[in-house]
Chain A
Amino acid sequence: MALDSKIPNGSIADKWTNYKDHINLVNPANKRNLDIIVVGTGLAGGSAAATLAELGYNVKAFCFQDSPRRAHSIAAQGGINAAKNYKGDGDSVYRLFYDTVKGGDYRAREANVYRLAEVSANIIDQCVAQGVPLAREYGGLLDNRSFGGTLVSRTFYAQGQTGQQLLLGAYSAMNRQIGRGKIKMYNRHEMLELVIIDGKARGIIARNLITGEIERHSAHAVVVGSGGYGNVFFLSTNAMGSNATAAWKIHKKGAFFANPCYTQIHPTCIPVSGDHQSKLTLMSESLRNDGRIWVPAKLEDAQAIREGKKKATDLAEADRDYFLERRYPAFGNLVPRDVASRAAKERCDAGFGVNKTGEAVYLDFAAAIQRYGKEQAHIKGLDENDNALVTKLGTDIVRSKYGNLFQMYYKIVDEDPYTTPMMIYPAVHYTMGGTWVDYNLMTTIPGCFSIGESNFSDHGANRLGASALMQGLADGYFVLPYTIGDYLAPDIKMGPISTDRPEFEEAEKSVKELIAKFMNNKGTHSVDYFHKKLGKIMWNKVGMARNEKGLKEAMVEIAELREEFYKDVKVPGTDKEFNQELEKAIRVADFLELGELFAKDALHRNESCGGHFREEYQTEEGEALRDDENFAYVAAWEYKGKPSDAVLHKEPLNYENIKLVQRSYK
């Protein structure tokens, strides 16, 4: 099967307008006769459900949480990009498009990214009209901040809770439609299978997580907005419930899975404190503006610190290795996420890690406190040589900038980051890969769409800060509502789809068999036991830096672990009740397949780009070495019974508007 990305003709700036002018529309009276299922209620799913309902479609929305408001988009901290150019600093749709493609290390589809940049400004208008309290200046107009990887100030924000505010905006739009009866909301429901009738997606099988009942739901189209698959690593900044099940089920039914190996590892997270660790917490990237990253220069000091015999503050300047400043004098502590993450891992692997587990580096604010303190003393005409005064003034400035983050750190680690350096370590944060979609956001299964983080989307091999929120809302509010209408136009006379059809019967049967298998298994280990093992394999061999040998081993180990899982997993309770262990088992079963495809994709991509770093492909200075000649394509995998048998399809990436160049941060 050849991949057709269905990119409209014409110049890049006109594609989306021309497309909208010529697609089929469904008249309002007919929309009432069409049902759409939306799985997931984050920024993408929530905004899509609300907009489709408002257009007149009958929407059934599903989420596994107890309320759509709890989807993990809520945890996004920093901000949302939009090409508003309110600052008059030269921003434009083209610049946002350019920065996003470059930030993605030239592995994204030009036409999609341009469209994203084009609708970005509408998102801000929309959200403000909805009552989202974005940050404002004293004059009453919206404020912007700047973010890594760009030269303009285009990020809109709501303190450190931008994701929360935007999600609550989408949730409020959903509430309006639920109140009107246009969205039927299914909380605490998990999609477990896609139903395909005559080659088109026509429904899903879902489990009611409270009663355990297996339910059939039909629709004229199915939209999956179920987020990313970072939890394949067990430890990530994702929520505990974040899972790939919906995305993986459609993959197994025919939707190609693209670029699974593109994973973003975020450099500034709170380190693991022990084996009991259940998840990792992100500390905003903005901390690197003022914090200096270092490890002890001598192995014996690192050893002493790990054993608690020495403290960070005991080490003299000469005994500290500010390794980012040393390796990247031009960008220093502000190198991109992937570069900073790999450098920290390299130091810790060499034995210089500073916490109990040996997997942490320092992020030190002492210099910033002194610098700000002196500045303040000067402004206020006070004694710049009074050490205590300078420290106090500087601490106040740092508190005003990062107070909430420092507080969060203190609550988790129980150390005061104002007086002793913070400890940080990279953690899995976002997955750029996902279901392959065409320009219409439709997967390779007709009638099955994928939006937000769950598609392979617009970020290429690496996502810039503040662009995930932009993509989720762009897909849901402004793109899908057009493209799905074009698809549904021929179906207006179809009428409701019966759930008594044999295809539903069969899909339900397969789900019930899987569940019965888990319930009847008399295994000896909990689901978490296997999930943690999978996470270790992924982190050690398919993590920040990968090589051929490790990836091959990982594929074998994951396949073995999967077999062991089905033989030896233990799921207590029954399937006819609220059973969190069963929920986990079903999700981990999918991760155990996805992980293998992930490794396979990483193994086949013989280059380093963005979030994918292969040790064999690096420059002499240890930087990522892209191979545009051979790998400027999207790797879309077709399921063939086993992840290891997946068949590769290539969508070539043609850059007509942007010239490919090597990134450098020296």
Chain B
Amino acid sequence: MKLTLKIWRQKNAQDKGRMVDYKIDGIEPDMSFLEMLDVFNEQQINAGEEPVAFDHDCREGICGMCSLFINGEAHGPDRGVTTCQLHMRMFKDGDTITIEPFRAAAFPVVKDLVVDRSSFDRIQHAGGFISVNTSGNTIDANTIPVNKKDADAAFDAATCIGCGACVATCKNSSAMLFVAAKVSQYALLPQGQVEAADRVLNMVKQMDEEGFGNCTNTGACEIECPKGISLENIARMNREYMSASLKG
């Protein structure tokens, strides 16, 4: 396959950055998107040019490190996959592919396609945990039975990989799906309910301070989420938040 790549190049956080066009040849349909970028970078290095920086690690869709806004969509045109699981067979010979970083005020660009998602970490520091000591002297794991339905729903929410596709794809750069997934996971489990009110208030406060936009329920996040985290979680968080606010 022969392709034209339009890639965002930005030297560092201070640089203004710009789109640059490149040509690439010899791409096979069986390559993953990131392997295509590996080939591209190898070419750049051999030609004495700067390779393009992009985040990636596990390359099996679970670590949440890879990002990329490809042809106008977070993690590209395929559904239910991260960029590392996106394969070149989704594209045609001769295609032009636009590759941009995830964009949001709360995700500043570090270099080229690499962004800083530590705002997500800070939201978790504010309350993304259950305050139990890690002593091991807690009660036996089977002391509190958990309804299977709730346990499964908590698990579904907990499968969020924190990649930020929801923020990147939302026209408002809202982080509601990410925050809601964490709030939901704990709110659904008896162990998490003790601190549920404080948790949701603190996490939402931090989310707002980080400069994410507001949710207008377009549902784009749910569709672009590689793990299919449901909008139900956002509704649950809204509910939890309002009841916590009224109580508090």
Contacts and interface: CB of A to CB of B under 8 A. Distances in A.
A577 B192 CA distance: 42
A573 B41 CA distance: 13
A161 B156 CA distance: 11
Contacts of A281: 59-60
Contacts of B45: 526, 570, 572, 581
Interface in A63-122: 65-70, 72, 74-75, 84, 86, 119, 122
Contacts of B30: 273-274, 414
A477 interface: yes
Contacts of B75: none
A176 to B, nearest CB: 4
* Most chain B beta-carbon contacts within 10 A, residue among A47, A158, A276: A276
Interface in A271-299: 273-274, 276-279, 281-282
B218 interface: no
A142 interface: yes
Contacts of A528: 38, 42
Contacts of B11: 577
A210 B114 CA distance: 10
A655 interface: no
Interface string B25-49: 0001111101100110110111011
A528 B37 CA distance: 13
A295 to B, nearest CB: 21
A125 B32 CA distance: 40
Contacts of B134: 47, 50-51, 54, 126, 130, 173, 477
B29 to A, nearest CB: 8
Contacts of A577: 11-12, 111
B132 A130 contact: yes
Interface stretch (A133-141, A378-386, A657-665): A133-141
Contacts of A412: 32, 85, 87
A80 to B, nearest CB: 12
B129 interface: yes
Interface in A117-166: 119, 122-142, 158-159, 161, 164-165
B204 to A, nearest CB: 15
B124 A175 contact: yes
* Most chain B beta-carbon contacts within 10 A, residue among A65, A70, A237, A407: A70
B141 A125 contact: yes
B56 interface: yes
A67 B42 contact: no
A131 B189 contact: yes
Given A67-B121, A277-B35, A411-B85, A130 B130 contact: yes
Given A175-B129, A478-B136, A572-B45, A138 B148 contact: yes
A28 interface: no
Contacts of A403: none
A66 B63 contact: no
B64 A69 contact: yes
A126 B136 contact: yes
B159 interface: yes
Contacts of A171: 124
Interface string B96-118: 00000000000000110010111
Contacts of A273: 28, 30-31
Given A175-B125, A572-B50, A164 B62 contact: yes
Nearest to A69: B162
Nearest to B42: A526
A539 to B, nearest CB: 18
Given A240-B57, A278-B59, A131 B130 contact: yes
Contact of B35 (A47, A278, A578): A278
A580 interface: yes
Interface in B171-201: 185-186, 189, 191-192
Contacts of B58: 70, 72, 74-75, 239-240
B216 interface: no
Given A126-B134, A240-B59, A140 B146 contact: yes
A277 B87 CA distance: 12
A164 B51 CA distance: 31
A497 interface: no
Contact of A133 (B48, B57, B62, B189): B189
Contacts of B57: 65, 70, 72, 239-241
Contacts of A72: 57-58, 63
B123 to A, nearest CB: 9
A179 B136 contact: no
B32 A54 contact: no
Contacts of A126: 132, 134, 136, 138
B236 to A, nearest CB: 15
A276 B141 contact: no
* Most chain B beta-carbon contacts within 10 A, residue among A125, A237, A414: A125
A172 interface: yes
B89 interface: yes
Interface in B146-176: 146-148, 151-152, 154-155, 158-159, 161-162
Nearest to A161: B159
Contacts of A526: 41-42, 45-46
Nearest to B124: A175
Contacts of B49: 572
B55 interface: yes
B125 A136 contact: no
A432 interface: no
B126 to A, nearest CB: 7
A74 B65 CA distance: 11
A187 B51 contact: no
Interface of B: 11-12, 28-32, 34-35, 38-39, 41-42, 44-46, 48-51, 53, 55-65, 78, 80-81, 85, 87, 89, 110-111, 114, 116-118, 120-121, 124-142, 145-148, 151-152, 154-155, 158-159, 161-162, 185-186, 189, 191-192
Interface of A: 47, 50-51, 54, 65-70, 72, 74-75, 84, 86, 119, 122-142, 158-159, 161, 164-165, 168, 171-173, 175-176, 178-179, 185, 187, 210, 237, 239-241, 273-274, 276-279, 281-282, 407-408, 411-412, 414, 477-478, 526, 528-529, 570, 572-573, 577-578, 580-581
Q: Please list the 7 inter-chain residue pairs (A to B) with the smallest Cβ-Cβ separation, ordered nearest first.
A: A140-B145, A122-B136, A172-B129, A133-B155, A128-B141, A179-B125, A133-B154
Given A126-B134, A137-B148, A276-B38, 9 more contacts: A126-B132, A128-B191, A131-B154, A132-B158, A133-B152, A134-B151, A164-B159, A175-B121, A526-B42
